[in-house]
Structure 1
Amino acid sequence: MAEVVQRHLEDMLSEFEQAKRIGLFTEAEIKKIVRTRRRHEYKIIRRTKEKECYLDYIKYETHLLKLVQLRREKLKLGRINKKNEIDLSIKRRIERLFRSACHRFKKDVNLWLTFIEFLKKQHDYSTASSTFTSALHTHGNKYWLWIMAAKFEFETMVSPSSARSLFQRALRIMPQEKKLWLEYFKFELLYVELVQKRQAVLDRTKQEIENNEEDAVLQGKIVEIVFHNAQTTIENDPTFICSFVKILYEFSQFSFVESFIDHIYSVLKEKYSSNALAQSLIAQRPLINERKMIDEAAKKEQDVTFMIAILEQQVRENYEQQLNNSTVNKNELWNLYLDFCLQRLSQASDTNKTEVIFFY
């Protein structure tokens, strides 16, 4: 045990020598660092290992790294001066400690996330990417971790193919996880946005774009496939289907969005013609994008209250039309209609609004 600790401390000699030579630490401070590291090293090589011992060591080294960076600025040593021998040496030690801790306590997902966050702060994105992969080997049943990893690949690594691969792998493992489908759907829409921006930068003509293999992406074909697979995998859930509409409204700048929304509502209407909840959601269609419409109306200084009253009237007319549908359970639909009215009533800010809801 003592030999292992001594070997680790000897590996730090170059780091200590350079820190002393350029004036980062005094000899007394270096001796204190050696004593502290020795104590931590003994703790992490004990037969019975505790996670807290690793975390304490990591915390100490992280604070030490910050101190080094502060003293560099104060002493005006520059960012390059012996940085490999000192700063990077400390970073590698922290990484080594994290790896060892994650290996021994692999079921602690928060430990993995802390490691990844450290790597991101150090701008070591490639290592963060591989660490996500390692974490998923143990925590592959956590859908949110797959989403985090996919978003990291797309937003930070700028690798849509890697992000797509992660989403698809996750869905093979957890095909009934709704959040995964919705996030995958949103990712493909973000990818359309990315391709559009790329085309704008390249300044291609319409003819060139039509002949380009990315044309299917720009027309929303991949997005349609994701929706189709989602709604055929997760059945008997009209609310889930409507969730896709809400996401689509975030991308209303795309030419295919309106027709796609029409398609989704046609799926609701045909596939769930006797489902009261589905018909209720169809009736509420005029208000599904209410928040955005209110914001836009306010910017244009339009009468928001009157606009909402008109939309609510459309919803009521839709409900009345649906209630004439002989295939729908009318008691169920009436209850949903009443729930809608009560919900709008709870949101009403004044008596006039309340009167509008029921008597317009």
Structure 2
Amino acid sequence: MAEFVQRNLEETLPELEQIERVGLFSREEVKSIIKKRSGLEYRLNRLKNEREDFLKYIEFEKNLLKLIKKRRKKINYFFKTSEIEHAIVVRIQKLYRRLCTLYPSDLTLWLTHIRFLREWNRLGRMSQLITKLLKMNSRVPGLWILAAKTQLEYNHNPDDARRLLLRAIRHHPKSQKIWTEYFRMELLHAYKLNQRMAILQQSQMTLEGDETSLLKGELAGVVYKKAVEAIPDDIPFRLLFAKISQDFDFAKHITDEIYKDLQTTHPEKEQTWDALARRPLTLLTKVADETQIWKTEQACHKIYQDGLEKTPSVGMWNLFIGFLHERLLLGGSRDTSDQRLKLLLSTLEEASNHVELSEENFQLWMDAHVNCGQIDEAVAIAEKATTSHVRSAAMWEMHLRLVMRKFSPDEADSAGAADQICNLFDQAVSNVKSKHALSIWNVGLDWCLLYDRDRVEVIFEAACKEHRNVAIPFKECYLEFVAINRGLKKMRKVYRKLKVDKPVSVEFFKRKIFLERTQPEANTSKLREAYEDALREYGSNQPDLWLEYINMESSLKQLSSLQNVKQLHWRAKAALEGIHVEEFISGYTLLQLSL
């Protein structure tokens, strides 16, 4: 092994001599480079080669190249690049080749190698490497695109790029990415031809018919037609071609053809009308003022309305409403924003008369009225929403909040307001599944805490009998509420009642322990009772509970407490399961060190 390492190090001597001679590195720095390379070479020449060893060597050589570049700028010396940088680049290429040979299925390594060759302008070698990679991984569409892009952008060979993409299509006839990139490539080629012709305009050149069609991007139009033949019923796929062709001024006729074809082949599709309606906005210039923008939006509205006449579906209304909401969020002058808001509200109302609005659209409708200060109108819409989506917790919650908001603080204290809220709350919890109704119970509790405190405990007791999703968090809150408002004795009574009424969470017991410990004189027996109750339910998977209990006993500094600590330690190791035993032992060790 040593002879191979020595041979490889001797091959680096010419470049190191040049580096030292021209003053890029000192003798000590050169020795350091040799020492580092020696260590890396020995790692590469072991019986079992590791990927990380190659990557470390490559990273070292790349960093050396960066340092050489900085030193050249510092001393203003830019000669001998073929003797210095070229030798290092060749060495990195060899390392990459060995690495890719050892791990041929790792595309990341291949692509990193290609990127390195591109950075150092090794285009010939890069093309060879991509060709080799394609032979090994022809099933990856992105590699075909990479190969074609290399031929077009770096080798300036559109014919080879076209051949590669045609081969890719034969391998992947349903790949949308390949079809769109082929379309883009043809347009880019036509763009470059147009640029060349612009330079030669002063000459008396005449164009043949084929050349004129190339300049207009007719080949791209052919690609589009073949693509939709291969993938006929995908509207977003067709719109990708339109989005690409919009970036080229000379391809406007292709964009028009795409939209016309879309309207001819899929006139009943909602996505078709959405694309046609949004198109006028893409034709706006960057310097368009608000008046022009609003006129353009009105043209979009007209197309949406035409679409609704032919396709009056829920999806079509949703697309129209979504478009109006997007435009409203853009802001602008007050007049324009008011016009957009007015149109959105009228459209939502019209849509509700024809189809059933989604929860999102009802929410949008209510929010729009609330932002305008029209609470009564928002409440009326909330009634429609809860009628239309009677099982929706979000709609009932919004309905409750709006009705509460309708009353002023003075009105909220009245019996009529309380009765109206309670009746609406009862309707909500009876219609919404209990496991989804937590937000509704929270709204009811908030109301009672503010305006009807006599019903607070009624709410808590009713909620504790609901589904676990409601009962568990409400039991925790109930304890704290009673402790603050009714005293410790009442809290303990409520705790004894709730703990036997399953389910109870570990946080419920921790809340009880916290409330006991916050007293001026903590009751040790009550704390032990709470810990024992918690461990009875969760002792098999909560090492933290055992550690807290042990810590509490240790802090008492009594003989009986020390005996309890030993018993608790033994019980914990017997009760805990799996990985929780190790967690407990680690925590217990740290606890003993801190005491």
Corresponding residue number in structure 2 for 1:164: 162
Point out where structure 1 has 5 or more consecutive residues left out of the alignment.
324-332
Corresponding residue number in structure 1 for 2:211: 214
Corresponding residue number in structure 2 for 1:338: 317
Q: Distance in 2 between matches of 1:90 and 1:249?
A: 45
Deviations 1:283-319 (A, max 9, x none): 64131352452xx1x5043525522431232223321
Deviation of 1:359 (Å): 4.1
Deviation of 1:109 (Å): 1.5
* Structure 1 contact 154–160 (Cα < 8 Å) conserved: yes
Q: Distance in 1 between matches of 2:124 and 2:130?
A: 10
State the AA in 2 paired with 1:227.
Y
Deviations 1:250-304 (A, max 9, x none): 22x21x633x34433443344345xx42x641464131352452xx1x5043525
Task: Assess, with a 3 A threshold, how the Cα gap between structure 1 residues 26 and 268 changes in structure 2: closer, same or farther.
Answer: closer
* Structure 2 contact 273–304 (Cα < 8 Å) conserved: no
Corresponding residue number in structure 1 for 2:141: 143
Is 1:281 the equivalent of 2:272? yes
Task: Assess, with a 3 A threshold, how the Cα gap between structure 1 residues 40 and 226 changes in structure 2: closer, same or farther.
Answer: same
Corresponding residue number in structure 2 for 1:2: 2
Deviation of 1:230 (Å): 0.3
Corresponding residue number in structure 2 for 1:319: 307
Corresponding residue number in structure 2 for 1:329: none
Corresponding residue number in structure 2 for 1:327: none
Corresponding residue number in structure 1 for 2:106: 108
Corresponding residue number in structure 1 for 2:81: 83
Task: Assess, with a 3 A threshold, how the Cα gap between structure 1 residues 100 and 321 changes in structure 2: closer, same or farther.
Answer: same
* Structure 2 contact 151–158 (Cα < 8 Å) conserved: yes
* Pairs within 5 Å for 1:58-97: 58-76=58-76, 78-80=77-79, 82-97=80-95
Deviation of 1:43 (Å): 1.4
Q: Distance in 2 between matches of 1:23 and 1:283?
A: 67
Corresponding residue number in structure 2 for 1:57: 57
Alignment partner of 1:123: what SS?
coil
Deviation of 1:8 (Å): 0.8
Corresponding residue number in structure 1 for 2:252: 257
Deviation of 1:59 (Å): 0.7
Q: Distance in 2 between matches of 1:2 and 1:338?
A: 77
State the AA in 1 paired with 2:78.
R
Corresponding residue number in structure 2 for 1:199: 197
Among candidates 207, 227, 232, match of residue 229 of structure 2? 232
Task: Assess, with a 3 A threshold, how the Cα gap between structure 1 residues 315 and 96 changes in structure 2: closer, same or farther.
Answer: same
Deviation of 1:189 (Å): 1.2
Deviation of 1:141 (Å): 2.2
Q: Distance in 1 between matches of 2:204 and 2:344?
A: 48
* Structure 1 contact 287–311 (Cα < 8 Å) conserved: no
Corresponding residue number in structure 2 for 1:271: 265
Q: Distance in 1 between matches of 2:239 and 2:139?
A: 26
In our comparison, the structure showing a higher alpha carbon Rg is 2
Deviation of 1:178 (Å): 0.7
Is 1:309 the equivalent of 2:297? yes
Q: Which aligned segments of 4 or more residues in structure 1 are displaced greater than 6 angstroms?
A: 204-207
State the AA in 1 paired with 2:342.
E
Deviation of 1:20 (Å): 2.6
* Structure 1 contact 146–166 (Cα < 8 Å) conserved: yes
Corresponding residue number in structure 2 for 1:290: 281
Deviation of 1:351 (Å): 5.0
* Structure 1 contact 102–111 (Cα < 8 Å) conserved: yes
Task: Assess, with a 3 A threshold, how the Cα gap between structure 1 residues 75 and 246 changes in structure 2: closer, same or farther.
Answer: closer
TM-score, normalised relative to structure 1: 0.85
Alignment partner of 1:299: what SS?
coil
Deviations 1:191-211 (A, max 9, x none): 1111111112222778711x2
Deviations 1:32-73 (A, max 9, x none): 222211111121222221111111001111111222232233
* Structure 2 contact 308–317 (Cα < 8 Å) conserved: no
Task: Assess, with a 3 A threshold, how the Cα gap between structure 1 residues 239 and 66 changes in structure 2: closer, same or farther.
Answer: closer
* Structure 2 contact 325–344 (Cα < 8 Å) conserved: no
Alignment partner of 2:313: what SS?
helix
State the AA in 2 paired with 1:310.
Q
Corresponding residue number in structure 2 for 1:244: 241
| Higher RCO (C-alpha 8 Å, min separation 6) | 1
Is 1:188 the equivalent of 2:176? no
State the AA in 1 paired with 2:265.
K
Alignment partner of 1:257: what SS?
helix
Deviations 1:110-149 (A, max 9, x none): 2122222222222223322322223323332222232233
Task: Assess, with a 3 A threshold, how the Cα gap between structure 1 residues 358 and 168 changes in structure 2: closer, same or farther.
Answer: farther
Among candidates 99, 115, 118, match of residue 116 of structure 2? 118
Task: Assess, with a 3 A threshold, how the Cα gap between structure 1 residues 19 and 219 changes in structure 2: closer, same or farther.
Answer: closer
Percentage of pairs with the same residue:
29
Q: For the aligned residues, what is the CA RMSD?
A: 2.5
State the AA in 2 paired with 1:322.
K
Corresponding residue number in structure 1 for 2:591: none
Q: Distance in 1 between matches of 2:297 and 2:13?
A: 76
Corresponding residue number in structure 1 for 2:48: 48
Deviation of 1:235 (Å): 2.2
Task: Assess, with a 3 A threshold, how the Cα gap between structure 1 residues 227 and 353 changes in structure 2: closer, same or farther.
Answer: same
